[in-house]
Amino acid sequence: MKPRQHGRVVPAPENHLSATQVRASHTSRRSFIRSGVAASALAASGGAVAQASGGSALVPAWTRSLGAPVVTTGYGMPSKYEVNVQRRQSPGLTPQPQASISFTPLQNLFGIITPSGVHFERHHSGMPEVDPQQHRLMIHGLVKRPLMLTMDDVMRFPSVSRIHFIECGANGGMEWGNVAVPTVQYTHGMLACSEFTGVLLSTLLDEVGVDRAKGKFILAEGADGSALTRTIPIEFALADVMVVYGQNGEMLRPENGYPLRLLVPGVQGVSSVKWLRRLEVGDKPWNTREESLHYIDLLPDGMHRQYSGLQEVKSVITMPSGGQKLIGKGFYEITGLAWSGRGKVKRVDVSTDGGRNWRTARLQEPVLTKALTRFRLDWNWDGAPGLLQSRAVDETDHVQPNFHQLRAVRGVRSIYHNNAVQTWRVQPDGEVWNVQLA
Ligand SMILES: Nc1nc2c(c(=O)[nH]1)N[C@H]1C(S)=C(S)[C@@H](COP(=O)(O)O)O[C@H]1N2
Ligand SMILES: [Mo]
């Protein structure tokens, strides 16, 4: 069935930007669509208007003049019309901006790669300014040849580039009890996906000669003020953990751990220690502050679950999503992201009626392990209220739970590891709201 009318999605104005900035970007989109309509009317009328105006009526000013010269120096920035695409902090979430979170604007992004400039940030003690000349990585503990590496040393090892997501374990943490935040940026925006380049940790562990009989765990430590430490089981370390210096084709950004970070694919973000300065091989978990006080799950029986690092299968519709507005009935492409810490996404089903009926979405290639996967589904909105949901299944056949299923096991007192199905309500006026179904 061919869609007759193309619907439009208008992003919600964000109170973090001035009203003029928001209006400017809306106006340009509307006028683009209007000139498109005028162009088809013109074609139908045999081009009479074009002839009368000497053929220039539809030729915009920027086509009739010289543009700005080639920029030969400097670092390129997005168009000024895209100024609304910003990382945002949740006002009131954290009292200190140094120990805070900024969220990725998932509603504005395409494909699976997160531009480095809008990759969410989570710092426990602010962002240190690390001089790569002075930075060192120490590898020691139960090893034969302890090493102290400079950045130059690290970059001489054989390297790999791989696309993986990083998701903070607390992503969605505000929504355990009920709806708390309006947009997908805040519900799911502690999530990003990049092409990372670096050295496999297994390569470095080979170099130092791990004591394979006793060395079962690795402690990773950051060089920031929090000296953040996390224990990583050696199986993970040998499988696919990377010591990373490259992100999306360039050096890591300062906020993402410049010049060196750990990347533990599929595991909650906290294990991907930034500004990595030390790796110690040991025989048991360290039980550090970030493993005993934080990043633990309070279960309904009052027990704490520790070391539950894996990010389970999850998905979310990013468009249409909370805070956006559909302008008129007609065709919309529902699109979103799916991922699993256990491997590849196998299938994503989408419902527009709150889970009564499901249709299988198209998955955009490449579908990569422990990476974001883009899904899409055609939808003709008839103007009736809708309840949009997506539900992902991964290659290990884990199915994303709904809130009832998740709460039956986990209760409502957790912060971390909420992978429940998200519901967006489309109202008859086109407004989209974050809701949870009773
Ligand atoms: N040294 C150090 N590493 C750190 C952190 C930190 O505060 N200090 N935050 C962790 C947390 S909780 C997350 S979710 C990820 C976030 O990575 P990003 O800031 O690159 O998005 O980094 C992790 N690594
Ligand atoms: Mo995190």
Specify whether 195 is located in the same domain as 138.
Answer: yes
Specify whether 373 is located in the same domain as 316.
Answer: yes
Residue 167 CA to ligand 2 centre (angstroms): 7
Specify whether 231 is located in the same domain as 314.
Answer: no
Q: Is the per-residue pLDDT at 85 higher than 60?
A: yes
Q: At which of 274, 305, 336 does a domain end?
A: 305
Which of the two residues, 58 and 43, has the higher pLDDT score?
A: 58
What whole-number distance in Å separates Cα of residue 413 and Cα of residue 425? 25
Residues whose CB falls within 8 Å of the CB of residue 66, separated by 6 or more in sequence, listed in order: none
Model confidence at 9, pLDDT cuts 50, 70, 90, reads low
Nearest alpha carbon to residue 315 among 383, 241, 367, 264? 367
Backbone angles phi, psi at 407, to 5 degrees: -70, -30
Model confidence at 71, pLDDT cuts 50, 70, 90, reads confident
DSSP state letters, 325-393: EEESSEEEEEEEEEE-TTS-EEEEEEESBTTSS-EEPEEPSP--TTS-EEEEEEEEE-SS-EEEEEEEE
Please report whether residue 72 resides in a domain: no
- CB under 6 Å to ligand 1: residues? 119-124, 166, 168, 222, 224, 226, 228, 255-257, 269-270, 272-275
Mean pLDDT of the chain: 88
Please report whether residue 156 resides in a domain: yes
Q: What is the pLDDT of residue 97?
A: 86
Specify whether 284 is located in the same domain as 331.
Answer: no
Q: What is the pLDDT of residue 8?
A: 57
Model confidence at 438, pLDDT cuts 50, 70, 90, reads confident
The percentage of residues in the chain with a pLDDT greater than 70, rounded to a whole number, is: 87
Residues whose CB falls within 8 Å of the CB of residue 122, separated by 6 or more in sequence, listed in order: 100, 101, 168, 190, 269, 270
Across 372-395, average pLDDT? 98
Specify whether 326 is located in the same domain as 432.
Answer: yes
* Window from 18-22, 264-268, 325-329 with minimum mean pLDDT: 18-22
Q: What is the CATH number of the domain that holds 410?
A: 2.60.40.650
What whole-number distance in Å separates Cα of residue 149 and Cα of residue 132? 11
Q: Is the per-residue pLDDT at 3 higher than 80?
A: no
Residue nearest to atom 18 of ligand 1 (CA): 121
Residue range 115-161, pLDDT digits in tens: 999 999 999 999 999 999 999 999 999 999 999 999 999 999 999 99
Please report whether residue 112 resides in a domain: yes
The amino acid at residue 279 is L
Nearest alpha carbon to residue 349 among 337, 339, 361, 357? 361
Which of the two residues, 58 and 234, has the higher pLDDT score?
A: 234
Ligand nearest to the CA of 227: 1
Q: At which of 305, 329, 360 does a domain end?
A: 305
Q: What is the pLDDT of residue 55?
A: 52
Residue 59 CA to ligand 1 centre (angstroms): 49
Task: Determine the 3-state secondary structure of 282 from DSSP.
Answer: strand
Specify whether 205 is located in the same domain as 339.
Answer: no
Q: What is the tally of structural domains in the chain?
A: 2
Specify whether 186 is located in the same domain as 300.
Answer: yes
Residue 1 CA to ligand 1 centre (angstroms): 47
Please report whether residue 67 resides in a domain: no
Domain, as residue range, for 331: 310-437
Residue 369 CA to ligand 2 centre (angstroms): 21
Residue 339 CA to ligand 1 centre (angstroms): 19
Specify whether 393 is located in the same domain as 279.
Answer: no
Q: At which of 305, 322, 344 does a domain end?
A: 305
Nearest alpha carbon to residue 245 among 157, 124, 125? 157
Please report whether residue 2 resides in a domain: no
Q: Is the per-residue pLDDT at 394 higher than 60?
A: yes
Specify whether 184 is located in the same domain as 316.
Answer: no
Residue range 105-118, pLDDT digits in tens: 999 999 999 999 99
Altogether, the residues listed in the chain come to a count of: 438
Residue range 158-206, pLDDT digits in tens: 999 999 999 999 999 999 999 999 999 999 999 999 999 999 999 999 9
Please report whether residue 47 resides in a domain: no
Q: Which regions of 83-135 does DSSP assign to beta strands (E)?
A: 88-89, 101-103, 121-122
Q: Which residues pair with 332 in a beta bridge?
A: 379
Please report whether residue 432 resides in a domain: yes
Which of the two residues, 46 and 176, has the higher pLDDT score?
A: 176
Specify whether 226 is located in the same domain as 293.
Answer: yes
Specify whether 322 is located in the same domain as 231.
Answer: no
Nearest alpha carbon to residue 263 among 205, 313, 193, 214? 193
Q: Which of 193, 226, 228 should be mutated for ligand 1, with most atoms under 8 A from CB? A: 228
